[in-house]
Every structure is written in structure tokens, then in C-alpha cells.
Structure 1
Amino acid sequence: MTRRPLKQFLLSSNAIQAHLLCLTLIVLLSLSIWEGNTQPDYKWGLLFTIIVYPVLLGLLWWSDRLEEQEAVEHLIESITEPERLRRKRRVWRRGSLIFFFGISVAFVYAGHQGVVIELLPAHYLGYFFFVVTALGVAGVNIWRGGPLDPRMDPPPGDSETVDELPVDTDPE
């Protein structure tokens, strides 16, 4: 995204509003002072307007630059966010498989130590968790319908490209 030249900025709608406001005040205050029917504060008002005019244009230019920077950051974020979400969900799935494996080992150990859960030896539950973990490692979707369901991941080509973004043809 290229920056607009100074001439285009000075002809933008915000800059034209600043031109109209400040130049109108400068002309009106100058005419009042020239004709001699002035109040004592008109000279200070003219000086203030002359000083504020370039400051106001500078602030508008800076605001315009910040908007351009935000647009670039939004573009970068829209391109990288789906990939970041896919990686995050993949890490959570792997982490949950490691957790299931740890739980299965703990239950198998506890079951062999004599722990019984509701008339069921704990090692049977450990073997069940081990089978679920093995299915997950083998690629079976054990998270079907859950928050880690791989079908809910954004597709690999889901991010916007620069060509798909709307082009601003307005010369402002």
C-alpha cells in the first residue's frame, strides 16, 4: 500500500474542511481588522488561526497515516490469523492426546494397585483411555462435534489475499 502524495492529501475531504474553516476565519478577521471595526481580540484571533492552520493540517495528515497503518496491520492480521488458529488447534489436540495418555497410564497403574471405580477396576478405564488415545494418534476424529473437531478448523486457503481485497478507487 503506497502512501498518498502531499497534493492528494491536501485535496482530501478532511483537509478541504480544514482549509475552508481556517481560510474563512483568516479572511473574515483580516477584513475586519483592515476596515477598522475590530474588537481588541480580533488580532489575537487572527494570529491564533494562522498558527493553528498548519498544526491542524499536520494533525490531519498524521491521522491519515495512522489509518493507513491500521489498514496494513488489518491486512496482515487477516492473512495470518487462519494459519495461527489452525496451529493453535493442532497444538491443543496433541496436548489433549498427551493428557489422555497420561490419564490412561495413571488409571492402569491405579487399577493394578487395587483401585475400583463403581465396581469397575480402574485399569479397565485406563485401557479405554489408551484405546481412545491410540485412535486419536491414528487419525480418527475422536473430537467429533467437540471444540477441537478438526472439521471446524479454517481451510488452508481461507485467508484473504491482496488480490481479493477491495480496491479504493476514490482519489481522496
Structure 2
Amino acid sequence: MKVTINGVPTEAVVEPRLTLADFLRERCGLTGTHLGCEHGACGACTVLVDGQAVRSCLMFAVQADGTEVTTVEGIAGEDGELSPVQAALRDCHGLQCGFCTPGFVVSITALLRDNPQPSDQEIREGLSGNFCRCTGYQGIINAVHRAAEAVRESGSPDPVS
């Protein structure tokens, strides 16, 4: 398979049953993609495939052939600076233990690309596939609003920059 991961072209021979999550973690060393339920319910393994948020535990690595995959490691700026989404989660206390955070970062990034000014209800719907057992969600919702504002102020339509 040939895939571009976080901007880096990658070629690999993979077993047909290997999940994208396991490929990213075990073969690529991108351990920011967390495995929680391994049933697609918790959202901790969310990555972008051609810009769409997907549960990497439910996708086979071979299905990513020819695609562009972005993991949480690819969301931060090249200089290591936090993206607006990451900074907002930090500033609004939208994370505690951190296990769910990578999935939320990726999901919020995709949400803001599709809807740069979401309402509380749209945020709740957009993040309904991500579970957090620590925060109570209000900090996460506040972080989405703060990140949306930061993206609008930057003049960039991309929540990653």
C-alpha cells in the first residue's frame, strides 16, 4: 500500500486484516492514535482520511491505500506550536487524563473545517462519537468555541494552521 501520513509518503506491505489504528501505532510509531474500545464507539482512534474524520480501529490499513491520513501528530504546526484546537483545549480545561484528547483534537479539527461557527447543539452532535469520562464536556464545548474564534481571527479557514 502507498499512503501519505502527516505529509510523509509511506509504502508498506500489510496483512489484509491489520487495522489502520494498529498500522499507525505499531508500524509507523504514531502512538497518539489511541485505542479504547476497538469497536468504533469511543472515538479515541479518530484520524483524518482525505480530510474526513474516521475511526481507525474500524478501517483496515489496506483501505487507506492512495489516501492522505492525518493523525493527531500531524495537527500541530511544523514548529511544534499547538494548533488553535489544541491550544483551546488546554486553555479551556477541555482535557484531564488525556486519553480521549487525540480523538477530540482530530474530530474538532474536522468539525471546524466543515462548520467554522458551530452552535452548542452542532458541537454536541459533531462530537457525539467521542467519549470522555473525565471532563464533563463543558470545557470541551468551550474549547470548540474558542478554537472557532481563533480560526476566524487568524483569517485562515484551516483549524490546523
| Bigger fraction of residues in helix | 1
| Bigger fraction of residues in strand | 2
In our comparison, the structure showing a higher alpha carbon Rg is 1
Normalising by the residue count of structure 1, what TM-score does the alignment of the two structures yield?
Answer: 0.19
